Amino acid sequence: MRYSEEFKKAIIKKSHMRSELYGIEKERVEPRKILKGTEMSKALQENKGIIEVATPIIGNLYDMVHNTGFLIILTDREGCILKIMGDDNVLKAAEELNMVTGAYMNEKSIGTNAMGTAIKENMPIQISAKEHFIQAYHRWTCSAAPIHFENEIIGSLNLTGYSTEVHPHTLGMVVAAVQSIERNLSHEKLQKELVEAYLYMDSIVNSISHGIVAVGMKGIIRHYNKTAQDMLHLEEKKHEHININKIISVWPDIYEKISQGKSFMYEDVSFNKNNKYNISANPIFNNNKELIGVVLIINEIHAVMKLVNKYSNMISKYTFDDLIYKSKIMKEIVEFSKGVADSPSTILIQGESGTGKEVLAQAIHNHSSRANNPFIVINCGAIPKNLIESELFGYEEGAFTGAKRGGRPGKFELANGGTLFLDEIGEMPLDMQVNLLRVLQEAYINRVGGDKYIPIDVKIIAATNKNLIEEVNKGTFREDLYYRLSVIPIMMPPLRERKADLQPLIEHFLRIKARKLNKMIPYISQEHLDEIYSYEWKGNVRELENYIENIVNLDGKSTIKIKNIEEVDKNITAREVNNHNMYLCTLEELEKKAIISCLKEYDKNISKTAKILDISRNTLYLKMKKYDINKYNMS
């Protein structure tokens, strides 16, 4: 950058005036301030970045002026010399004036000079001979330019020589060198930011529990995280020229779908002998929206199952500490159950409804080494006969009409490594009992519609309120399955046979129901308590719990009198029988009955009936037409 002589003279005059104000002596020889020792080391450390970037450029500049009597000086933003390089004779002359590393060359220290004035005026400048304020520097001509980074001055570069040897183009050489330093500082910053961004991304990717693999269009692996490295048995950071085809045989299918714009999501794939994986593929596009690669997300199936179980409430929450008892028989059952919790043998828990069979099953699971793995429940009596096989064993894609894409794992697969609780096992259909027996004996399953053997490691706990020996004698339950299930039998006694447990149970339910209902624990008269203790509680613990909740709701009283409970139970049983008979019909007849029942209940109001049946008004009208239901003349 060139300035007119008039402009330069004005700048020097202004600098001389500042020098006089600073109290600089014209006869002074050395700078006012020179850093040494620890202070100098600190300054060098603080300016490490500019020194590292500027050093090779200073070296190149010196190569151009070597043996011509020049001195190159790099300063920080305050004019402190950070680096000095030059011919020996010039270095010696500079040392006589204490122009050394650590010396301050700003105007406050030595008055008007190229380095100090360039920084002060924020402009390149050449100061020659008598233009220097201090007479000792009149032998020199100095050409200096400020160095900027992010629009701030961070230092200066100076080329000093004897005034007889300097050419006006010398300042141009300095300005060009400074521009190179500034460019390299920007590049250095960008490179540092890229490295930091990479380190952040690498740390994030490696912290993910999914396997992540980036693959180029020719199938060459470009990058992978630690999880994928373990899954694919790859050496750390030695993925060059490894083709994904050698590891994942379905890569051609993945590539074909992605290149055609189709999705490849959550597909089950086997590429190791012992494990099955779930893979999703996501395309990578460049700025021109051209496909340049694919990112594979890989999960081991058992990890997927564990995650599904965790967020599907397929976990056990009860432990032996949650069992409320005082009776000797319950103490014996708890101690026995703890002793067999880690046994791989099947457990059969029998007992009346409401005795706490599932609570005991969960406690056994949580006391075992499988506690951190799934606890899966299937109610064998609540699943339609035609669905129980797919519920237990899962199904493959296309196994039947309506089968989900990719298939679905069954309860055995979901419970792998954990416990499968077969509730109401006495309700299981005979044909399914054969399949269950085979799985228990051989420890593998076949999905419905599939031909692959899937090994399973599942602890089986079954429960029933039926007498299975009687069911065996009646021919409704297989004898071989009964003996396979009852390797470890546990009989849960009814509440009437463990009266000692009534007091702790009543106290427990009073506390939790009062907390649930946000009420005080009510007072119960002794007469009322005597009635509770003398009642047989045919509904067992569940019936007692509901009765105590009723008491808490009504502050110690009850809408249900103890002497009437048995009569209520009989009425409920009668209604259950009638309801059971109601279901003994075709699904269409059942649907017709439901529509008629709702129309009668809501005084033939179409909107309310549709809402209760969870269908639209139009659908309700269509079904009424189908079943010939006239709301003004319903039969």
pLDDT digits 0-9 by tens, 80-89: 999 999 999 8
CATH class of 496-578: mainly alpha
Residue-wise pLDDT tens digits, 65-109: 888 889 999 999 999 999 999 999 899 999 999 999 999 999 999
* Domain 313-481 of CATH type 3.40.50.300: yes
Report the percentage of the chain scoring pLDDT > 70.
89
Strand pairing report for 459-464 and 347-350: parallel
**What CATH superfamily is the domain 585-626?**
Homeodomain-like (1.10.10.60)
Q: Where in the chain is the domain with CATH 3.30.450.20?
A: 208-301
Strand pairing report for 125-128 and 277-285: unpaired
Residue 557 has pLDDT above 80, yes or no: no
Average pLDDT over residues 320-326: 94
Using CA atoms, how far residue 77 sits from 31, 104, 157, 425, 624, in Å, is: 16, 10, 11, 84, 90
Average pLDDT over residues 326-336: 95
Using CA atoms, how far residue 331 sits from 36, 270, 321, 327, in Å, is: 83, 48, 12, 6
Average pLDDT over residues 627-633: 71
Q: Report pLDDT for 574.
A: 47
Taking the C-alpha atoms of residue 305 and residue 183, their distance in angstroms, rounded to an integer, is 54
Question: Per CATH, which fold does 208-301 belong to?
Answer: Beta-Lactamase (3.30.450)
Strand pairing report for 221-224 and 211-216: antiparallel
Q: Report pLDDT for 573.
A: 47
Model-level pTM greater than 0.95?
A: no
Taking the C-alpha atoms of residue 67 and residue 87, their distance in angstroms, rounded to an integer, is 6
Q: Report pLDDT for 571.
A: 47
Among 382, 387, 323, 383, CA closest to 357: 323
Q: Report pLDDT for 232.
A: 81
Q: Where in the chain is the domain with CATH 3.30.450.40?
A: 5-191
Q: Report pLDDT for 399.
A: 72
Are the C-beta atoms of residues 113 and 105 closer than 8 Å to each other?
yes
Q: Report pLDDT for 280.
A: 86
Q: Where in the chain is the domain with CATH 1.10.10.60?
A: 585-626
Taking the C-alpha atoms of residue 65 and residue 71, their distance in angstroms, rounded to an integer, is 9
Q: Where in the chain is the domain with CATH 3.40.50.300?
A: 313-481
Beta strands per DSSP E along 424-573? 444-445, 454-455, 459-464, 488-491
Residue-wise pLDDT tens digits, 1-51: 566 888 989 999 999 999 999 999 998 888 889 999 999 999 999 999 999
Residue 292 has pLDDT above 60, yes or no: yes
Average pLDDT over residues 539-546: 92
Are the C-beta atoms of residues 87 and 66 closer than 8 Å to each other?
yes
- CATH, domain range 5-191: 3.30.450.40
Q: What mean pLDDT value characterizes the chain?
A: 86
